Structure 1
Amino acid sequence: MKLLTDAMHHLQIQYTDEMLEQFQKYMDFILEWNEKVNLTAITDKEEFVKKHFVDSILCGGIPQVSKANKIIDVGTGAGFPGVPLAIIYPEKEFLLMDSLNKRIKIIKEITDEIQLKNISVRHGRAEDLGREKDLRECFDLCVSRAVANLAVLSEYCLPFVKVGGWFAAYKSAGAEEEIKNSLKAITMLGGKLQQTQTQNIPGFDLEHPILLIEKVNKTLAKYPRKAGTPAKEPLK
């Protein structure tokens, strides 16, 4: 946990002993479940802390994240970045969604076990859930570490964000060309790329640019398109 506390000091994130205990238990439970269900390829605890916990909280302290009250994590996988963010922001409300029901059930069981009360979960594809009345344009912030082209990811995520809200997309270093090619799609979906935030923590070798996309217009009713279409035919 010292790796985690060092990172939080650098990012100026306040934490308590209870939060550290929740982080520890979440990692232990995920690694235990991982022996039965494929949740993560990272099983070394030091690497787990760096690449799942620290990487997830890199957006901590960014004003657009700090000010959001209702947050959705699209394509959460084993709960990242949603669970670490929910731990450091107990006052915020988080919805974690994923297309694999088995993962969602495990996350729910673990977060209940560690008494993380500000998380709810939803099973489904983003293309379908983005049309649900109780989810569409209801969130102050959408976060996603999902591995997808930015144009595709924007079609998954921006329909959930209310006008005036934000989409924080975790991308890999060297994604400049991908970002440039996605700007038209972002505009079509009601968004506008405002800035890229890169947090470098000495000694961690993590370089995840976080793209901050503001929702400036409502998303047209035809988006997201039916399940599978955004990935097969990205908007251009």
Structure 2
Amino acid sequence: MSLVTERHAEELAQGARELGLELTAQQQELLIAYLGLLIKWNQAYNLTAVRNPDEMVSRHLLDSLSVAPYVAEGGDSWLDVGSGGGMPGVPLAILFPQRRFILLDSNGKKTRFLTQVRLELKLANLEVVHARVEAFRPAAPFSGIVSRAFSELKNFTDWTRHLGNQDTRWLAMKGVHPDDELQALPADFRLEACQVLRVPGCQGQRHLLILRRTH
């Protein structure tokens, strides 16, 4: 029996429409295939704390896609830091095939899973890097750096400042508004905007903090 049901596919299509996204048939198919891989590998690799497949469409796929408008207005090269099971990097790579996404994680099991996802889904615009973020040295600054529940804002910015410049946008996906974390933001970063994310099917609060380097 398939791990992904028709109901999951319908929930994804409906949720995407509520987010204002028009998925192509191929994008819908790839997202569902990714969900199937996530459910299958999660049983052995502990990729996500969400164990119930019925919760994964909203809490993983739609949550990842909720930042699409802010990625759309950014540049062409994106880094997903601490990507884990591939959120938000894999869904965003599927949604934006013309942009380049690097998924970075220091956990070998997780990067092996991500490599399998890239191969099986034939995502040519996606690259997987197994490394600690502090040791990662790309050839050029990224247009955008995104994280989803990766760490506190101070660590996120401290560990990734060498990966961007003043043109880079840092996108931190959070639950409740992190007032304390913002107070501890390093002096060379500023909060450009805070957006409330409405994720179909998710009950908890979701916020997106958009940060910039000041110098």
Q: Which residue of 1 aligns with 2:74?
A: 67
Give 3-state SS (helix, strand or coil) of 1:61's partner. Answer: helix
Once the two structures are superposed, what CA deviation does each residue of 1:146-186 show, in whole Å capped at 9, x if it has no partner? 3321111111233212321100001121422222x223x1x
Runs of 5+ in structure 2 lacking a partner?
1-8
Q: Which residue of 2 aligns with 1:134?
A: 139
Matched, 1:56 2:53: no
* More deviation, 71-80/200-209: 200-209
TM-score (norm 2): 0.89
Structure 1 residue 203, shift from structure 2 partner:
4.7
Matched, 1:199 2:197: yes
% same residue: 27
Superposition RMSD in Å: 1.7
**C-alpha distance in 1 between matches for 2:145 and 2:11:** 27
Indicate conservation of the 8 Å contact 2:58/2:201, yes or no: no
TM-score (norm 1): 0.81
Q: Which residue of 2 aligns with 1:231?
A: none
Closer, same or farther in 2 for the Cα pair 1:201/1:72, shift >3 Å? closer
Corresponding residue to 2:30 among 19, 22, 42: 22
Segments of 4+ moved more than 4 angstroms? none
Runs of 5+ in structure 1 lacking a partner?
218-236
**C-alpha distance in 2 between matches for 1:201 and 1:113:** 27
**C-alpha distance in 1 between matches for 2:190 and 2:72:** 17
Q: Which residue of 2 aligns with 1:32?
A: 40
Structure 1 residue 43, shift from structure 2 partner:
2.7
**C-alpha distance in 1 between matches for 2:138 and 2:38:** 32
Indicate conservation of the 8 Å contact 1:142/1:168, yes or no: yes
Once the two structures are superposed, what CA deviation does each residue of 1:68-108 show, in whole Å capped at 9, x if it has no partner? 21000000001011001111111110000001122112111
How many residue pairs get aligned? The number is 207
Indicate conservation of the 8 Å contact 2:62/2:199, yes or no: no
